[in-house]
C-alpha cells in the first residue's frame, strides 16, 4: 500500500469515497473500458458487425478465419511477391510511414527541444524565445496544417507564393511538390509535427536542466571541461530519466497522430499512417471490422508504453 | 575595455545566431499566414506575402514606359488622364492596350522614341492602370477575407461587393444573420464555444471529486484503481470511437452537443484525476486533520477546503482541457460532422472537399487560432505547470 497515509479519522465512512468516485468511474467505464472491450469483439466481425469475420474470406485467397480483419490490417498494404517488392511497399505503407514518423519526429523534437533548452538558457530573452517555440502547442493541428500547406505551396510556372519554393527557385532550383512526391511528402509532414511538438519537449527538458545543481557544472568547468563535455558527460546523464519520459510520451503522441495527415494529404501519395488508416476504414469505407482491427493493432503498439507508465508511477509512489 | 568581456560576447555570438534562427523558423510560417489573411485575394495568388510592402504590380513598368509623358501619378496629360476610369476601361487587357500603344496620335507614334513594352509588361501596366483609376482598386491590406470567412461566402469577389451589387447567393441575407450561416466561421466559432465550455467544466468537476477521494479518503482497492487509471491515460481515442458512435446512433446522440461533452469528459478524466490527486495529495495533512477534528464532514472539507486550495490545479487543467477540446478534429469529425460544424471541422472541410482559396483558408485558420492564442499567452504559467505534472493524454 502506498506510503502516503490517510489521516486515521478518515477510515470511517465506508460509502462516502465511492460517492465521490461514482461520476468519474461511471463515465470512464462507459467511455473507455466498455468501448475497448467492444472494439476487440467488433474486430472479429464482418463489415457491419453482424457476423463473424470468417464469413468475409474469399475462396482461394489466404484467410485467417475469425482473424480475417487482422490479416487485412497487417498484410493488405504489402506486396509479397519478392523481398524487394515487400521492402518497397513496406516503406509506402501506413506501418512504414508510422515507423518513419516515430524515428524522425521523436529524434527531431527531443533533439531540437534539448538543444534549444540549453542554448536559450544562456540568452537574456529566454522567456520570450521559449514562449515563441512553445506557441504552436496552442494552435490546432488543423491550423498548423494550413500554415504549412501555405509554406509548401507548389505554385505555378510564373509565380511561387509558397515560402519554401520561392527560396528554392530564387536560388536557381526547380520547385518541389512537397506534399505529393513520395518520401519527400512524409518528411514534409514530419516537419510540421516537429514544429508543433518541439516546444513541449523543450519545456519539460528545460525544467529538468534548471534543476541540475550549479555547483556540479561549475566544478566541472573549473576542472577545465569544455561546454561540450559538460553537456554530454554531466547534463545529459543527470536528466536522462526526464529524457526517457519525454521520448515515451512523444512515441505515444506520434502513434495516435491523425490530424496533420488528414488535413494536409488525406493519407494520399503514400503518406498514410496507422491512425489515419483506421479513420479511412471506419468512416470512409464504412467497414467496422477492419476499422476496429486497425485500432486494436494501434493499441497493441501502445501497450508497452502503458506498462512503462504504470511502472514509472509505482517508482514515483515509492519516493513520496 | 576588459578583454574577457569581449571574449565572452564573441563566444556568445553562435548561441544568439542559433536561437534567433530557430525563433525565425518558428515565427515566419505563422506570420506569413497572418499577412496573407489580410491581403486581397488577387494579390495573394500573384505574389508572395513577403512582397506585401513592395510597390504594386505594374508600377515599375508604368514608370519605365508611361511616367515620362503621363506623369508619375498618371494624371499629367488632361486629355489622356490615366486616373479617369472611363478612359482606362477601354483597355482591360494587354491586347487593347498594345493596340493603342502601336497606333498614332496626331500623326506621331504613341510611344514616340520609347520602346513599345512586351506583352507581359503591357498586361502588368493594364493591371496598374485599373488600380490607379479606381476600377479595380487593390488595397494593400483588407479585412474582407475575415468577413468572407465569418459569413461563409463562397463567391468569386467579396461578400461586401456582392451584397452591394445585390448578387449575393441565396443563403446569404446580407445582414447580421449571415454570421450564423452554417457554412461560415461565425457559426462555427459559436459551436466551438458551446462544445468547449461544458467539455472543460464537467471533467474538472468530476476529477476534483475523484481526486479528493484518491488523495484523502480511504477505501479498498484505492491504489490498484489508481494504477489502472494511470494506464488508461494513454489509451488512444481511436480505440473507442467505433463502439461509441454505434451506441450514439441507437441513443440518437450523434450530432448532439451532449454526446460530444460526455465523450470529452470521459477521455479527459484519467489525466484530470491523476493531476488532481497528485496536487491534492501534496497539501499539508494537518489541514485536513484539524478540519475533521473540528467536526467538518467530508463534504464540508471538500467544499470549503479542497476546492479553494485546488485553484492552481484547476487552472492548469482548465487550460489544458480547453485547448485540447477546442483544437480537436477527430471527435468533432466523428460525432458532430457537418450538422453542427466546429471551427476545426469547418477548416478541414474547406481543404478536403471545397478546395477553398487561400484568402478564405488563411483567414479561417487565423480566426480559429485567435482564442487559444489569447488563452495561451495570458495563462502560459498554468499551462506549463500542468504539463510538467506529467502530460500524456488521449
> C-alpha cell of B103?
497606333
Measured CA distances, B330 to A164, A253, A276, B200 (Å): 29, 14, 10, 17
Q: Please say if the pLDDT value at position B166 is more than 90.
A: no
User: Which residues, including other chains, have CB under 8 Å from residue B278's CB and lie 6 or more apart?
Assistant: B389, B390
Q: Please say if the pLDDT value at position A10 is more than 70.
A: no
CB B205 within 8 Å of CB B318: no
Which chain B residues have a beta carbon less than 8 Å from that of A3? none
With vertex at residue B288, the alpha carbon angle to CA B286 and CA B291, rounded to the nearest 5 degrees, is 105
Which chain A residues have a beta carbon less than 8 Å from that of B376? 135, 137-138
CB A318 within 8 Å of CB A3: yes
Nearest-angstrom CA–CA distance, A268 and A118: 38
**Mean pLDDT, chain B, whole residue set:** 85
Grid coordinates 488577387 are at which residue?
B42
pLDDT at A5: 58
pLDDT digits (tens, 9 = 90+) for A41-71: 999 988 887 878 778 777 777 788 788 888 8
Which candidate from A23, A132, A313 shows the least CB-CB separation from B26?
A132
**Does ipTM surpass 0.90 in this model?**
no
pLDDT at A9: 53
Q: What CATH topology corresponds to A93-286?
A: MetI-like fold (1.10.3720)
Measured CA distances, B79 to B4, B70, B107, B371 (Å): 73, 10, 16, 54
Q: Which of A138, A159, A239 best tests the B interface by mutation, with the highest count of B CBs <10 A?
A: A138
> C-alpha cell of B127?
493591371
Torsion, Cα B331 B336 B338 B340, to 10 degrees, reads: -130
Nearest-angstrom CA–CA distance, A179 and A187: 9
For A187-200, what is the mean pLDDT?
Answer: 93
pLDDT at B354: 64
For residue B76, what is the DSSP state? Answer: S
DSSP H helices, B217-304, are 222-232, 238-251, 257-281, 285-293, 298-300
Q: Which residues pair with B105 in a beta bridge?
A: B108
Per DSSP, the three-state class of A52 is strand
> C-alpha cell of A5?
497515509
Nearest-angstrom CA–CA distance, B181 and B150: 8
pLDDT at A67: 87
Which candidate from A21, A131, A133 shows the least CB-CB separation from B22?
A133
Q: Which residues pair with B108 in a beta bridge?
A: B105
Maximum pairwise Cα distance, chain B? 111
For B345-366, what is the mean pLDDT?
Answer: 85
Record: contact B22-A314, CB cut-off 8 A: no
User: Which residues, including other chains, have CB under 8 Å from residue B175's CB and lie 6 or more apart?
Assistant: none
* Residue A3: band (very low, low, confident or very high) from pLDDT cuts 50, 70, 90: very low
pLDDT at B365: 92
Nearest-angstrom CA–CA distance, B257 and B254: 9
Q: Please say if the pLDDT value at position A11 is more than 80.
A: no
Q: Please say if the pLDDT value at position B1 is more than 80.
A: no
Q: Please say if the pLDDT value at position B318 is more than 80.
A: yes
CB B336 within 8 Å of CB B199: no
User: Which residues, including other chains, have CB under 8 Å from residue A274's CB and lie 6 or more apart?
Assistant: A94, A95, A98, A255, A294, A297, A298, A301
Q: Please say if the pLDDT value at position B236 is more than 50.
A: yes
Lowest-confidence pick of A126-140, A272-286, B195-209, B277-291: B277-291
pLDDT digits (tens, 9 = 90+) for B33-44: 999 999 988 888
Q: Please say if the pLDDT value at position A270 is more than 80.
A: yes
pLDDT at B297: 80
Which chain B residues have a beta carbon less than 8 Å from that of A1? 223
For A34-42, what is the mean pLDDT?
Answer: 90
CA B167 to chain CA mean position, Å? 29
pLDDT at B29: 93
Which chain A residues have a beta carbon less than 8 Å from that of B273? 24
CB B210 within 8 Å of CB B369: no
Nearest alpha-carbon partner for A230 in A208, A212, A211, A203: A212
pLDDT at B142: 86
Which chain B residues have a beta carbon less than 8 Å from that of A203? 384, 387-388
**Mean pLDDT, chain A, whole residue set:** 86
For A254-263, what is the mean pLDDT?
Answer: 88
pLDDT at A8: 57
pLDDT at A2: 42
Shortest Cα–Cα distance, B195 to chain A (Å): 15
> C-alpha cell of A236?
545529459
In A71-130, the residues whose Cβ lies within 8 Å of chain B are: 112, 115-116, 119-120, 122-123, 129
Q: Please say if the pLDDT value at position B344 is more than 70.
A: yes
Maximum pairwise Cα distance, chain A? 79
The DSSP string of B341-368 is --HHHHHHHIIIII---HHHHHHHHHHH
For A117-140, what is the mean pLDDT?
Answer: 90
Which candidate from A6, A14, A147 shows the least CB-CB separation from B33?
A147
Nearest-angstrom CA–CA distance, A142 and B290: 51
Nearest alpha-carbon partner for B47 in A63, A172, A159: A159
Number of C-beta neighbours around residue B322 at 10 A:
21
For A79-104, what is the mean pLDDT?
Answer: 87
The DSSP string of B138-163 is --SS-SHHHHHHHHT--SSS-HHHHH
Amino acid at each position: 500500500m502506498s506510503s502516503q497515509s490517510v489521516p486515521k479519522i478518515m477510515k470511517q465512512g465506508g460509502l462516502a469515497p465511492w460517492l465521490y468516485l461514482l461520476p468519474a468511474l461511471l463515465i470512464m467505464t462507459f467511455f473507455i473500458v466498455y468501448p475497448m472491450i467492444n472494439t476487440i469483439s467488433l474486430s472479429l466481425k464482418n463489415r457491419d458487425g453482424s457476423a463473424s469475420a470468417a464469413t468475409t474470406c474469399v475462396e482461394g485467397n489466404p484467410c485467417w478465419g475469425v482473424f480475417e480483419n487482422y490479416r487485412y490490417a497487417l498484410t493488405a498494404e504489402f506486396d509479397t511477391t519478392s523481398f524487394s517488392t515487400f521492402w518497397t511497399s513496406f516503406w509506402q505503407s501506413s506501418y512504414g510511414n508510422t515507423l518513419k514518423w516515430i524515428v524522425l519526429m521523436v529524434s527531431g523534437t527531443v533533439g531540437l527541444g534539448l538543444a534549444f533548452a540549453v542554448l536559450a538558457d544562456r540568452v537574456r530573452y529566454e522567456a520570450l524565445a521559449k514562449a515563441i517555440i512553445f506557441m504552436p502547442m496552442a494552435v490546432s493541428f488543423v491550423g498548423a496544417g494550413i500554415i504549412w500547406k501555405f509554406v509548401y505551396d507548389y505554385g505555378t510556372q510564373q509565380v511561387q507564393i509558397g515560402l519554401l519554393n520561392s527560396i528554392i527557385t530564387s536560388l536557381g532550383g526547380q520547385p518541389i511538390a512537397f506534399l505529393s512526391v513520395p518520401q519527400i511528402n512524409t518528411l514534409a509532414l514530419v516537419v510540421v509535427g516537429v514544429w508543433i511538438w518541439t516546444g513541449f519537449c523543450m519545456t519539460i527538458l528545460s525544467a529538468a536542466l534548471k534543476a541540475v545543481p550549479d555547483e556540479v557544472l561549475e566544478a566541472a568547468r573549473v576542472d577545465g571541461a569544455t561546454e561540450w563535455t559538460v553537456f554530454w558527460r554531466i547534463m545529459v546523464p543527470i536528466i536522462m530519466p526526464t529524457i526517457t519520459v519525454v521520448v515515451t510520451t512523444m512515441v505515444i503522441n506520434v502513434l495516435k497522430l491523425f490530424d496533420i495527415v488528414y488535413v494536409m494529404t488525406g493519407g494520399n501519395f503514400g503518406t498514410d499512417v496507422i491512425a489515419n488508416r483506421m479513420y479511412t476504414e471506419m468512416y470512409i469505407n464504412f467497414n467496422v471490422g477492419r476499422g476496429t482491427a486497425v485500432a486494436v493493432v494501434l493499441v497493441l503498439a501502445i501497450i508497452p508504453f502503458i506498462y512503462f507508465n504504470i511502472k514509472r508511477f509505482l517508482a514515483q509512489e515509492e519516493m513520496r | 575595455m576588459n578583454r574577457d568581456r569581449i571574449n565572452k560576447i564573441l563566444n556568445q555570438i553562435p548561441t544568439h545566431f542559433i536561437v534567433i534562427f530557430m525563433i525565425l523558423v518558428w515565427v515566419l510560417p505563422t506570420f506569413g499566414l497572418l499577412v496573407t489573411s489580410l491581403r486581397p485575394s488577387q494579390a495573394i495568388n500573384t505574389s508572395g506575402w513577403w512582397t506585401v510592402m513592395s510597390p504594386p504590380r505594374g508600377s515599375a513598368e508604368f514608370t519605365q514606359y508611361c511616367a515620362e509623358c503621363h506623369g508619375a501619378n498618371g494624371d499629367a496629360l488632361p486629355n489622356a488622364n490615366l486616373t479617369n476610369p472611363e478612359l482606362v476601361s477601354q483597355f482591360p487587357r494587354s491586347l487593347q492596350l498594345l493596340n493603342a500603344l502601336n497606333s498614332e496620335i496626331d500623326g506621331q507614334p504613341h510611344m514616340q522614341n520609347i520602346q513599345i513594352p512586351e506583352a507581359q509588361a503591357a498586361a502588368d501596366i493594364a493591371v496598374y492602370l485599373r488600380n490607379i483609376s479606381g476600377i479595380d482598386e487593390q488595397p494593400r491590406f483588407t479585412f474582407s477575407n475575415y468577413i468572407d470567412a465569418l459569413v461563409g461566402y463562397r463567391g468569386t469577389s467579396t461578400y461586401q461587393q456582392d451584397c452591394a451589387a445585390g448578387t449575393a447567393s441565396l443563403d446569404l441575407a446580407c445582414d447580421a444573420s449571415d454570421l450564423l450561416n452554417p457554412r461560415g466561421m461565425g457559426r462555427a466559432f459559436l459551436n466551438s464555444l458551446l462544445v468547449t465550455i461544458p467539455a472543460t467544466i464537467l471533467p474538472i468537476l468530476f476529477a476534483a471529486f475523484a481526486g479528493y477521494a484518491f488523495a484523502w479518503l480511504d477505501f479498498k482497492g484505492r491504489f490498484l484503481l489508481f494504477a489502472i487509471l494511470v494506464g488508461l491515460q494513454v489509451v488512444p481515442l481511436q480505440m473507442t470511437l467505433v463502439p461509441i458512435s454505434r451506441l450514439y446512433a441507437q441513443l440518437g446522440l450523434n450530432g448532439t452537443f451532449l454526446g460530444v461533452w460526455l465523450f470529452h469528459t470521459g477521455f479527459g478524466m484519467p489525466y484530470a484525476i491523476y493531476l488532481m490527486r497528485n496536487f491534492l495529495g501534496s497539501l499539508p495533512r494537518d489541514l485536513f486533520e484539524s478540519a475533521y477534528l473540528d467536526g467538518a464532514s467530508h463534504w464540508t472539507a471538500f467544499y470549503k477546503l479542497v476546492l479553494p486550495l485546488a485553484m492552481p490545479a484547476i487552472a492548469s487543467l482548465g487550460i489544458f482541457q480547453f485547448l485540447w477540446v477546442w483544437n480537436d478534429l477527430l471527435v468533432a469529425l466523428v460525432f458532430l460532422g457537418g450538422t453542427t460544424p466546429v471551427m476545426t471541422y469547418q477548416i478541414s472541410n474547406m481543404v478536403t472537399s471545397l478546395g477553398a482559396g487561400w484568402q478564405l483558408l488563411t483567414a479561417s485558420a487565423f480566426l480559429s487560432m485567435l482564442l487559444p492564442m489569447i488563452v495561451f499567452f495570458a495563462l502560459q504559467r498554468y499551462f506549463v505547470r500542468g504539463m510538467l505534472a506529467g502530460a500524456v493524454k488521449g
